[in-house]
Homo-oligomer: A and B are copies of this chain.
Amino acid sequence: MSAVGSVGNVSPQRMRFEAPLALRNGATIAGYELVYESYGELNAARSNAVMICHALNASHHVAGLHDGDPRSAGWWDNMIGPGKPVDTRRFFVICVNNLGSCFGSTGPMSTNPATGEPYGPDFPVLTVEDWVHAQALLADRLGIERFAAVMGGSLGGMQALAWATLYPQRVAHCVAIATAPKLSTQNIAFNEVARRAIVTDPDFHGGRFYAHGVVPSRGLQVARMIGHITYLSDDVMAEKFGRALRREAASAGAGDYRFTYDIEFEIESYLRYQGEKFSKYFDANTYLLITRALDYFDPALPYGGDLAAALAPASADFLVVSFTTDWRFAPERSHEIVEALLANRRRVTYAEIDAPHGHDAFLLADPQYMSIVAAYFDRIHQNCLEPAVPVSTQSVEEAA
């Protein structure tokens, strides 16, 4: 086996679906496209596939590089690759850019065949379940009947949970990281403020800004800044930035305030930079759509809030991981999932990682976290891929 490394250069692929997909909101969508990437090889038995589900602002580009550019590494490149926790020498790993996203799959920026104009606000409001159904159709076309694992963090973890209940026979293992069975009131509140910042930006034009040659950049920046605060722990923010003042090396009075409403503290500079960067690549309508899908996810709603009843159809084994300083989806939210699974007598491995980074920890290479996922994927490999020992032979040997 080769050393731990990258999956190397990768290229996105595209698949078109003509048949109408029935959506949770009662509408249908037809003639849509999904962009995806895959790493590793699907084995002959088609038993080694792993579906990765992406979170709010991520894409199908999970691992490897585009055109050899080292800055283009996939968003979970530390997790997926040869010799990495999800080892692409063993597993065929796939990630689909979700419907409604803005990285190549059909979404609000795409042309609405009914009008010849971008969908904009006419793109259907989607749910986590809609995404999972679309991913399942793509898996059908790839000939993948059953996944060795479906895995995701944050909003991706919600998709993994939905997979396990909507397609129980197609999911052998479900890996749900830094996620929650539904948003808290506070989570919804932060999403709502971000959406208000976007839709009240005069450049939003009711979602039809494409026709005006503008983007609601101010709103997107504020939305991203709010998001960023909730991704980081108070402690790691204090450690990284503290109350340090933003100063040019040569400036006078470097140790005292400048008494300005412009950038004074390093944290302000950092947040503005993150906001500006985001506003240049992320679609505002997609931001509304994805935050709303987060708000709406609540599998227990049809069961009067009984999460155990909601998860009863699942037959997978589960790995649930949370992070101690994650205040967006705190460990208590993972406990709810674990308890509901145990009530159904599912096999659950639960890890609560003591990491300082808040919600963002699920994207970082904490050694304990990586070891736990690696060990779990070793088990998945044994469960799904090792040649089965015929029971009769084993019995004979044991009897001998």
A contact set with B: CB distance below 8 Å: 24-26, 121, 124-125, 182-186, 188-190, 192-193, 195-197, 199-202, 218, 221-222, 225-226, 229, 232, 234, 237-238, 240-243, 257, 259-261, 264-265, 267-268, 271-272, 275, 288, 292, 295-296, 298
A268 close to B192 (CB less than 8 A): yes
Q: Which residues of B contact A225 (CB under 8 A)?
A: 189, 192-193, 196
C-alpha spacing A226/B192, complex, angstroms: 10
B243 close to A125 (CB less than 8 A): no
C-alpha spacing A183/B238, complex, angstroms: 10
B259 close to A226 (CB less than 8 A): no
C-alpha spacing A363/B310, complex, angstroms: 41
Contacts A25-B259, A196-B275, A218-B200 given; does A264 touch B186 at CB 8 Å: no
Other contacts beyond A121-B261, A192-B265, A193-B271: 5, CB < 8 A: A124-B259, A196-B218, A200-B221, A222-B222, A264-B295
Chain B nearest CB, measured from A292 CB (Å): 6
C-alpha spacing A222/B225, complex, angstroms: 12
Chain A to chain B contacts (Cβ below 8 Å), 14 pairs: A183-B243, A184-B234, A184-B237, A185-B241, A185-B265, A185-B267, A186-B237, A189-B267, A192-B271, A193-B229, A193-B271, A196-B221, A196-B275, A259-B296
Across the interface, A189 reaches (CB within 8 A) one of B195, B221, B237, B295, namely: B237
Chain B nearest CB, measured from A131 CB (Å): 15
Question: In chain B, what residue has the closest Cβ to A261?
Answer: B288
C-alpha spacing A398/B26, complex, angstroms: 89
Q: Which 6 A-B pairs have the closest CB atoms?
A: A25-B259, A200-B218, A125-B259, A185-B237, A193-B225, A186-B234
Q: Which residues of B contact A222 (CB under 8 A)?
A: 193, 196-197, 200, 222
A125 close to B260 (CB less than 8 A): yes
Q: Which residues of B contact A183 (CB under 8 A)?
A: 243
Q: Which residues of B contact A226 (CB under 8 A)?
A: 193, 226
Question: In chain B, what residue has the closest Cβ to A242?
Answer: B185
Contacts A189-B267, A221-B200 given; does A243 touch B182 at CB 8 Å: yes
